[in-house]
Chain A
C-alpha cells in the first residue's frame, strides 16, 4: 500500500496526502511530475521530491497494528454509558411505507402493540445511577424512541418522575430527548417544555414529500396534523422551540434534499437532518420496492448545489461532503490529535478495526422485549444483554463475539486505504454474518482510487468553504 498519494481538486490545484503522517500538503504540479517521472521539470522540484523521500514520504506503508478488545474495556464502557434509550413502545400510530419495522425489512422482533416494561426500565436506570459518580458536569442522556414513543406517554411521565427520585439519592445531571412523529405532540407539549426535552421531529418536507407517512387508522397523509402541532408549539413556546426542537427527514423518491430543506427552513427557520433509506436487512420479497423508493443522498445534494439557491450557505453543513470534511479533519488530517490527545502518549497507534462503538460507549437501548442493544440502528440479533430479575450483561460472551468479528474483519481492513480513518459501524455491514468466510466483502472497502476521489471531493469543498476548516477543528465535537 502506497504511503503518499497525489490528487487534485475540482479547481485543478494539486495536493499530496501522506497516509502515515496524516499530512495533506498543497504542492506545485511539478512535484507530481518529478515524483512520477512523467516529464521535464524544474530541478528544484526534483530536489524537493528527493528531500521529502528522505524524510519518509513516498515509501510503501507498513501494515496497521490493530489493538485488541478486552473484557475490562467492555465492562467500563457498559457501566459508564452516557445514554440510555428506551424503545417506549413497538406500536406506531403511523404506517410509513419505509418504516424499519415494516414490510420492507427483516431482523427485528415481532411488533405486537407491546409497551416497554416500566420495571425493566427502572432496573436499568438504577444500574446506571449506581455505577456513575455524582456529577453535574457529566450528563446522563435519557432518550425515548419507538414505534411512536408518545403512544406510551404514560411511561415517559413515570420515568421522569423516577429519575427525579434517583437524583435525590445521587445527583447526576440528566437530559432527555425524544424522537417523535409529532402526531400526539399537543398532549405533551407543556411537559416537554417543563423538563427541557430535546425533540427530534420526523418530517419529510412538504405535503407531497411527506406522503409516505400515513396515519395507521385512516391511511391519510399525516402532514396536516403534524404541521398543526408543530406550528402550535412554535407559537406557544418560541424560545424553547428555537433551542430544543430539530427536524429529521427520510430521503426517498417523493422528496429531495432541496425540497426538504426549503420547506423546513422557510417554515421553521431550521436546517433538517436528512437520512437516506436504510438498505441493509431488506426483506428479499420487497427489495425491488425499496430500490424504487431509494434516492441517493449525494446525488440529490449535487442537484441542489447546481441551483443557485440562497439557502445553500445555510444548509451546506448538512451536506454529505461536509460530513466527509469533518471526518477528514478529525480523523485523517494532522489535526487528528486535537480530538485524540491520548494518541500523543504512544509511539504507535493501536486502533480497533472499523469505527464500531464498544457496547455502551454511546448508548444502551432497552427494547420492549427487555433486550439490550448497542443502539437503535443495529439489527436485534446484536443483543448485548437483557433485563430479568436484574441487568444481565454477559461480558465474557460479548468480548468473545466482538473479538471474533474484529479478528476476521481486520484481514480486510488491513488492505483498505481508509483503515485508520474508517467511519463505518461493523454491525451494519451487510455480510457481517459471513465475516469468517472467504467470500466476505466489506461494502465500504476503499482502494487508492477511492481515497483519491474522496480527497478530491473534500479538498474541493474546502476550497469553496475555507472557513469550515476552523468551524470544524475548533467547534465541531465528534460524538
Chain B
C-alpha cells in the first residue's frame, strides 16, 4: 500500500548539510536526525509541486532510518501517514512559508506588508524621547501632537536639567497614550512627585552598592501604588548574583536582568549570556515567534528614538533617519522602511544564515552590535 506522508503545519523544520531538525510549536518537542534519508524526505516535502505532501510506498516507509523517523514523527504528533486509497487525488498541506524559505525573507515580508495601501504609520508602536537641558520642549510637544494616537511614549533622561518641563508633563498627563518613564534609581528618587502619576516606571538599577537608595525607591513605589518595573543592568556574574539577592530580599515581581557589554567583560558574556542549543530549544517558541524571527527585529521594530537635538533613530547604534525639525514622522518612518538597518535586522547573515536553528533563535540584540558579532552562541 502507498501512503501520503506529511509534516503537520504547526511544526518548524529545517535541513542543513544533511542534518534535520523538527520543532513542534505546540509542545516544544524536538526531533533531530543525521540521516541522509530523512534529510532527503524533508527536502522532498519542500518541493513546490508536492505542496507539503509526498508519496511513500509501504516498503519505503518501513526500511532503514525512515521507519524510525516516521514512527517518532507520528508518536510526537508532528506528522502522519495517510493511505493513498482513502481519497481520489493527492492532498495538500498548507505549510507556514518559513518551512520553505530561508533567503531574502525580509524582502518577501516587506513586499507584502509594506504596500502603498497600508498606512506606514501603523508600523510605529513606540516613541522614545531622550531629554536633556538642550531640548526645545515646546517644539517637542508639537511633534508629539503630530503622532498617531495610542503610541507608547517613553521618556528617558535627566529631568532636572530640562527647561519648561511642565509643558511636556501637562501634555503627557492629558494624553490617553500609554506612557513610560525610563530613568535611573537616582533620578527616580529626585523626580517631582507632581509628575509621578499616570506613568509606568522602568527604573534602571546600575548602582548595586547604595542599598539605602534602593530601599527609598521600594518604599516610595509601594506607598504611592505606582506601576513599575526594575531593570537591573549587570556587567558581571557578581552583579547578577547581587541583583538576584535584591530581587529575592525585596520580593520584587516586576523586574528583569539586562546584561551590559563594557568592552572588557566578554568572558562574562561567553559564560552566561551566549546561547547553547539547549537554551534555544528549552524556550517555548510559537508559530508567531518564528514568523517574527524571520521578518522583523523584535527589539527594534516599530520604535523610533528622538534625541534632544531632534535627531531620529530606529536604533541609536545605527545611522540617523532624520530630524524632527526638518522631517515629519511619516518621512522618518518611510526612511527606516526603505533604507533602515534596524527594524528588519534578522539572522540572515553568516554564520546564522546556514544554521539549523536559524529561525528558532531570537532576533539579534544590541549586544551583538556592541560586541561586533552577529551571533552570541556556541552553535556555529
Binding site for B on A (CB under 8 A): 9-15, 21, 23-29, 44, 48, 51-52, 55, 70, 72-73, 76-77, 80, 82, 133, 135, 137-139, 141, 329, 333-335, 337-342, 344-345, 357-358, 361-362, 459, 462-463, 466-467, 469-470, 473-474, 477-479
Contact = CB atoms under 8 A, between A and B. Distances in A.
Contact of B116 (A55, A82, A357): A82
Given A28-B80, A341-B109, A466-B50, A135 B334 contact: yes
B88 A361 contact: no
B334 A72 contact: no
Contacts of B210: none
B295 A133 contact: no
B89 A11 contact: yes
19 contacts: A10-B89, A11-B87, A12-B86, A14-B87, A26-B80, A26-B93, A133-B327, A133-B330, A141-B116, A334-B95, A335-B97, A338-B112, A341-B296, A357-B117, A362-B117, A462-B51, A463-B91, A466-B92, A478-B112
B148 interface: yes
A9 B95 CA distance: 17
B113 A338 contact: yes
A459 B92 contact: yes
Contact of A13 (B26, B91, B111): B91
B53 A26 contact: yes
Interface in B96-142: 96-97, 100-101, 108-109, 111-113, 115-117, 119-123, 125
Contact of B121 (A76, A339, A470): A76
B9 interface: yes
Nearest to B53: A26
A15 B50 CA distance: 17
Given A55-B26, A337-B288, A477-B111, A25 B119 contact: no
Contact of B87 (A13, A76, A340): A13
B111 to A, nearest CB: 6
B301 interface: yes
A334 B94 contact: yes
Given A12-B86, A342-B122, A477-B111, 17 more contacts: A26-B82, A28-B82, A44-B74, A55-B27, A133-B334, A333-B94, A334-B9, A334-B287, A338-B112, A344-B288, A462-B94, A463-B90, A467-B51, A469-B94, A474-B101, A479-B115, A479-B117
Give chain A's interface secondary structure class: mixed
B166 interface: no
Interface in B32-64: 48-53
Interface residues of B, number: 62
B91 A11 contact: yes
Nearest to A31: B80
10 A-B pairs closest in CB distance? A11-B89, A466-B51, A13-B91, A82-B116, A337-B291, A339-B112, A11-B88, A341-B113, A133-B331, A55-B26
B292 interface: yes
B142 to A, nearest CB: 15
A80 B111 CA distance: 19
A466 to B, nearest CB: 4
Given A13-B89, A138-B116, A467 B77 contact: no
B115 A478 contact: yes
A11 to B, nearest CB: 4
B338 interface: yes
B92 A469 contact: yes
Nearest to A140: B116
Contacts of B87: 9, 11-14
Contacts of B115: 477-479
A338 B117 contact: no
Contacts of B150: 70
A72 B144 CA distance: 13
A467 B50 CA distance: 9
B8 interface: yes
Contact of A77 (B6, B10, B119): B119
Residue among A11, A26, A133, A358 with the highest chain B CB neighbour number at 10 A:
A26
